[in-house]
Amino acid sequence: MSEEQKKVVLTCAQPSGNLHLGNYFGAIRNWCSYLDSHECFFGIANMHAITVPYVPANLRKSVYDLVAIFISCGLDPEKCHIFLQSHVQGHSDLAWILACLCPLGQLERMTQYKQKSAKQGESVGAGLLYYPALMAADILIYNADVVPVGEDQRQHVELTRDLAIKFNNTYSDTFRVPDLFIPQTGARIKSLQDPERKMSKSDANQSGCVYLLDEPTVIRKKIGSAVTDSGCEIVAREDKPGISNLLTILSACTGRTIAELEAEFAGQNYGAFKAAVADEVVKKLEPIQKTYKEISGDKAYLDKVLARSAEAAQRRANRLMSKVYRKVGFNELQK
Ligand code: ATP
Ligand code: MG
């Protein structure tokens, strides 16, 4: 099948810090399953990363870290486009047009906006509110068929679908309404220190997050000191969020069901269980860390991946944007 005939996958991660187990199990690992069957665009969302306070030099460096970790996690750049959002013209142009169609109240109701703005108080920037319009543009500008994300992004992809439908109804059929894909296991990995909340790159409490590049000793320490629940049973239950989270992580690492794991660890203590979880996480991350060490210093290679991908992404974005400009009534430049 030619690239043109393949269905399109689009999804992004922010260069807002080191990737963690949630990003891997909820997102990247599943992205790999599309490499042979779909045309894949995997974006590094640096324009989203400036919606919260950040340091420009760190942002620039994090982009390279993210390209290297994407490749290390199995996103073969020969089979997909790993592009930087700000390299492609059109994302913010389309975001503006979509924002003009988007009711303000819908943006104000977004859970991520409420959570992230609460951390910033009075100084919260309008970009954080506008974030879902930019994300909708990221997806629609490639006319994506499917968007694989973690559970936390469900609301934003649903808004994207609403905006695509609204645009099509207002101006005539233009966008595909993309499908949402959320994995069955690992869609919401929780913080080890606060299992009511999701593991997040931007979490101030680093010990709640297992990063993909953490040393084995650090991983063992973090999992060993994960918050657990009262009682001593190793079962997944609503009143046991800490143990449930560790069972989810173990299930995502091993491919075994939670029920199988509950049966295996019945009667064992929390210490032995945590050690087993840590062993599996270390084993899972070892090949990723090995590849990362090999390629992360090769900036020329990483730049080449970004340049090639930006070209492919720009071609696709241009096609859609000229259509969009025509439909919304923007005049073409006459020379
Ligand atoms: P930030 O705190 O800066 O928003 P993040 O950890 O939420 O960072 P993103 O770059 O926003 O990471 O998200 C990248 C992908 O990882 C998205 O598809 C998102 O749904 C997924 N994801 C993020 N956190 C988790 C988690 N705890 N469990 C499962 N998937 C997650
Ligand atoms: Mg996020």
* Cα–ligand 1 centroid distance for 210 (angstroms): 13
d(CA 305, CA 303): 5
Of 190, 201, 222, 274, which one is the catalytic site residue? 201
- Quick one: DSSP state of residue 330? P
Q: Which residues contact 287 (CB under 8 A, 6 or more apart)?
A: none
- H helical segments located in the chain: 21-23, 29-31, 46-49, 56-72, 91-101, 104-108, 111-120, 126-140, 154-171, 216-224, 241-254, 258-265, 270-295, 299-328
Q: For residue 11, give the H/E element and its range.
A: strand 7-13
Question: Is 6 in the active site?
Answer: no
CB 166 within 8 A of CB 129: no
The pTM for the full model equals 0.96
Question: Is 240 in the active site?
Answer: no
Please determine, for residue 4, whether its predicted confidence score (pLDDT) is greater than 70. no
Q: pLDDT tens for residues 237-280?
A: 999 999 999 999 999 999 999 999 999 999 999 999 999 999 99
Of 6, 7, 61, 116, which one is the catalytic site residue? 116
For residue 120, the model assigns a pLDDT of: 87
Please determine, for residue 38, whether its predicted confidence score (pLDDT) is greater than 80. yes
Residues with CB under 6 A from ligand 1: 13-14, 16, 22-23, 26-27, 149-150, 152-153, 186-189, 198-202
Residues facing 12 on adjacent strands: 43
Average pLDDT of the chain, as a whole number: 96
* Cα–ligand 2 centroid distance for 148 (angstroms): 14
d(CA 97, CA 141): 12
Q: Which ligand is nearest to the CA of 20?
A: 1
Please determine, for residue 36, whether its predicted confidence score (pLDDT) is greater than 80. yes
Of 190, 198, 222, 240, which one is the catalytic site residue? 198
* Cα–ligand 1 centroid distance for 22 (angstroms): 7
* Cα–ligand 2 centroid distance for 200 (angstroms): 7
* Terminal Cα distance for the chain, rounded: 39
Residue 18 CB-half CA count within 13 A: 13
Q: Would you call 332 helix, strand, or coil by DSSP? A: coil
Q: For residue 148, give the H/E element and its range.
A: strand 146-148
Q: pLDDT tens for residues 76-126?
A: 999 999 999 999 999 999 999 999 999 999 999 999 999 999 988 888 999
CB 8 within 8 A of CB 122: no
- Quick one: DSSP state of residue 24? I
- Residue with token string 């994407």: 70
For the chain, domains (ranges, CATH) are 7-185+298-328 (3.40.50.620), 206-293 (1.10.240.10)
User: Which among 23, 46, 153, 158 is the best mutation to test ligand 1's pocket, defined by most ligand atoms within 8 Å of the CB?
Assistant: 23
What ligand 1 atom has the least distance to the C-alpha of 11? 18
d(CA 211, CA 66): 12
